[in-house]
């Protein structure tokens, strides 16, 4: 792990040799990683690789069977639910709301700092997630993509305390139901957010091209283990991808950025 200096602060979260089993079957094994403020870490890999389980372990939803997870220097298990909610927000794939809440009210549910929150902060989050046209709609009136944007707004509100403390945002396939415009908008917004606030983002992505364009660090999971991690260019190599996904792929350079682009072979 890099030496900690003023210009290289400690990671907001560290996982060391983390393993977890379900019904006696290993789901993730020997996972070690570090999440730093100012960066987006994208997690990729085939279906069943253990990505969502890893997110739940890092969020504190599941206890690990072995190894340890440290959040801001303290064991994850030592954080109370209230204190954890102040610095860690999670957006899962399936978030069910049965009551006919308005979008405005759902976003407000994430505001844990009402005594400090200014209206400008709420307005900024609503704008960043493109939720302005949705505010007066009921939850059941929203499309899947609109629901994802609302849940992201709620998660950002949860981390909106004005104090400059390291925070962690964990997102499980946030672009899955979004059209191209909103995929681009979301990833650009996250990139801007980590560059301007004390935030680390851990994001599960199936779209390898989004991971290549926007992530600072990529973790490739396969069969519950880290197959490779590093820079997007170091991880998204043709031989690694072919072995991990068992698919015929073509890799080339993005004409504007030089990042790796991944295409399916016909």
Residue 8 domain-assigned (yes or no): no
Per the structure block, which two tokens stand in for 195? Answer: 């560059």
Residue 205 domain-assigned (yes or no): yes
Which of the 8 DSSP states describes residue 4? P
What Rg, from alpha-carbon coordinates, does the chain have? 18
- What would the mean pLDDT of 50-59 be, rounded to a whole number? 97
Among residues 9, 11, 27, 26, the alpha carbon closest in space to that of 69 is found at: 11
Helix (H, G, I), strand (E, B) or coil at 193: helix
Residue 115 domain-assigned (yes or no): yes
Round to whole Å and give the CA distance between 258 and 121: 36
- pLDDT at residue number 111: 85
Domain containing residue 140: 13-264
Q: CATH number of the domain at 216, please.
A: 3.40.50.300
Residue 73 domain-assigned (yes or no): yes
Residue 6 domain-assigned (yes or no): no
From 25-34, 157-166, 188-197, 253-262, the region with the lowest mean pLDDT: 157-166
CB of 154 closer than 8 Å to CB of 110: yes
Domain count, the chain: 1
Place 117 in a pLDDT band, splitting at 50, 70 and 90.
Answer: low
Residue 1 domain-assigned (yes or no): no
- pLDDT at residue number 101: 87
- pLDDT at residue number 7: 55
φ, ψ at 32 (rounded to 5°): -130, 130
- What would the mean pLDDT of 39-58 be, rounded to a whole number? 97
- pLDDT at residue number 156: 93
3-state secondary structure 40-89: EEEEECCCCCCHHHHHHHHHCCCCCCEEEEEECCEEHHHCCHHHHHHHEE
CB of 128 closer than 8 Å to CB of 160: no
Whether the predicted pLDDT of 98 surpasses 90 = no
Residue 177 domain-assigned (yes or no): yes
Residue 3 domain-assigned (yes or no): no
Round to whole Å and give the CA distance between 169 and 203: 8
């Amino acid at each position: 792990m890099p030496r900690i200096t003023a210009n290289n602060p400690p990671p907001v979260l560290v996982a060391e040799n983390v393993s977890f089993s379900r019904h006696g079957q290993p789901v993730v094994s020997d996972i070690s990683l570090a999440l730093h403020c100012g960066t987006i870490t994208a997690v990729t890999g085939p279906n069943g690789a253990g990505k969502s389980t890893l997110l739940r372990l890092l969020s504190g939803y599941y206890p690990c069977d072995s190894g340890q997870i440290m959040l801001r220097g303290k064991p994850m298990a030592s954080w109370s639910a209230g204190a954890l909610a102040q610095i860690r927000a999670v957006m899962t794939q399936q978030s069910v709301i049965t009551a006919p809440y308005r979008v405005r009210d759902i976003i407000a549910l994430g505001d844990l700092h009402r005594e400090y929150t200014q209206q400008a902060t709420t307005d900024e989050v609503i704008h960043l997630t493109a939720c302005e046209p949705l505010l007066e709609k009921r939850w059941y009136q929203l499309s899947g993509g609109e629901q994802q944007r609302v849940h992201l707004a709620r998660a950002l509100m949860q981390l909106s305390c004005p104090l400059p403390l390291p925070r962690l945002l964990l997102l499980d396939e946030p672009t899955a139901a979004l059209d191209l415009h909103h995929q681009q908008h979301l990833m650009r917004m996250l990139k801007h957010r980590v560059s301007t606030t004390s935030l680390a983002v851990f994001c599960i992505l199936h779209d390898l091209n989004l991971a290549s364009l926007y992530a600072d660090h990529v973790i490739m999971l396969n069969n519950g283990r880290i197959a490779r991690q590093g820079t997007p260019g170091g991880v998204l190599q043709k031989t690694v991808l072919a072995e991990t996904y068992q698919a015929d792929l073509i890799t080339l350079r993005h004409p504007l950025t030089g990042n790796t682009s991944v295409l399916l072979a016909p």
